[in-house]
Structure 1
Amino acid sequence: MDKAMFEAGLKNRREVLGAEYVDKSIQSADDFNMPLQELVTEYCWGAVWGREELPRKQRSMLNLAMLVALNRPHELRLHIRGAINNGVTKEEMREVFLQTAIYCGVPAAIDAFRNAREVFKELGI
């Protein structure tokens, strides 16, 4: 593991997803899944999210669309929160999900809208 890349990834991950969520994920990891936590933090959040060629807001919008396409509601809810932290507006999120209706299917978009509304309610927005 590249310690510097891990630390950079940990910083990015906390800023986007929230320190409470990230710290809980790492603290609750055991011998079985700690290597996955290290991989995700170092490579996803350090090596890729740490690149400057795309701003976080755009990365979040891409993630939302991909998570809808992959039918990953748990990760979608997490990244809806992250997208809000990265400045994605409800209107922009709506447009991303409308776009997914065309390319990923209407049922996938319906689920995305439902998940987003639930997160908005939880956050009071």
Structure 2
Amino acid sequence: MADGNGQTYDRGMATRRRVLGDAHVDRAEACKTGFDDDFQRFITEGAWGSVWSRPGLTPRERSLVTLALLAAGGHHEEVAMHTRATANTGATPDDLKEVLLHVAVYAGVPVANEAIRVVKQTLEDSGRLEPAAGDGQR
């Protein structure tokens, strides 16, 4: 959905940075080559500039929908990336737990089980996972 003057790209890059963080986007941009430059532009304009930038859902809601779809599809690296992004979108670990229960019912226990493993590890790594009540160890 390029608009010819770069507005969609600029809006997408701003949204991408707000959601994923400058460090992540800077790393992705630094790794970009002539081979994937068109793809990076496509996702920045299409996903971030045209969809994530729409006013219809909050960033938190978009995070939850995105994580459910990625988990259902078994896209573990993207699940981890978007789990890290929830620190910027306002989705809580409890929100993620509820989404993954929905994934288990509608997409299957095996994909939800693996997504729970990825999300749990990602939250632990970021210090955002609280130990269970009465659980003195992890």
With the shorter chain as reference, the TM-score category is: over 0.9
Mapped to 2, the partners of 1:90 and 1:84 lie a distance apart of 10
Q: Does 1:26 align with 2:7?
A: no
Indicate which of 24, 42, 45 corresponds to 1:39.
Answer: 42
In 2, distance between residues paired with 1:112 and 1:85? Answer: 20
Q: Which residue pairs with 1:85 in the alignment?
A: 88
Structure (1/2) with the larger helix percentage = 1
The amino acid that maps onto 2:10 is E
User: How far 1:83 sits from its partner (Å)?
Assistant: 2.2
Q: Which amino acid aligns with 1:82?
A: A
Q: Secondary structure at the match of 1:65?
A: helix
Between the aligned partners of 1:84 and 1:116, the Cα distance in structure 2 is 13
How many percent of aligned residue pairs carry the same amino acid? 34
Provide the secondary structure at the position in 2 that maps to 1:31: coil
Matches of 1:14 and 1:100, distance apart in 2: 27
CA drift of 1:101 comes to 0.5
Aligned residues: 125
Displacement over 4 Å in runs of 4+: none
| Structure 2 residues not aligned, in runs of 5+ | 129-138
SS in structure 2 at match of 1:15: helix
1:59 aligns with 2:59: no
Is the 1:65–1:96 Cα contact (8 Å) retained in structure 2? yes
Q: What corresponds to 2:113 in structure 1?
A: 110
CA contact (8 A) 1:26 1:34 kept: no
TM-score normalised by structure 1 residue count: 0.95
> Partner residue of 1:124?
127
TM (norm. structure 2) is 0.87
- Which residue identity lines up with residue 23 of structure 1 in the other structure? D
Cα distance in 2 for partners of 1:105, 1:47 equals 30
Alpha-carbon distance between aligned partners in 2 of 1:107 and 1:101, rounded to the nearest angstrom: 8
Separation (CA, whole Å) in 2 of partners of 1:35 and 1:26: 12
Structure 1 residue runs without a partner (length 5+): none
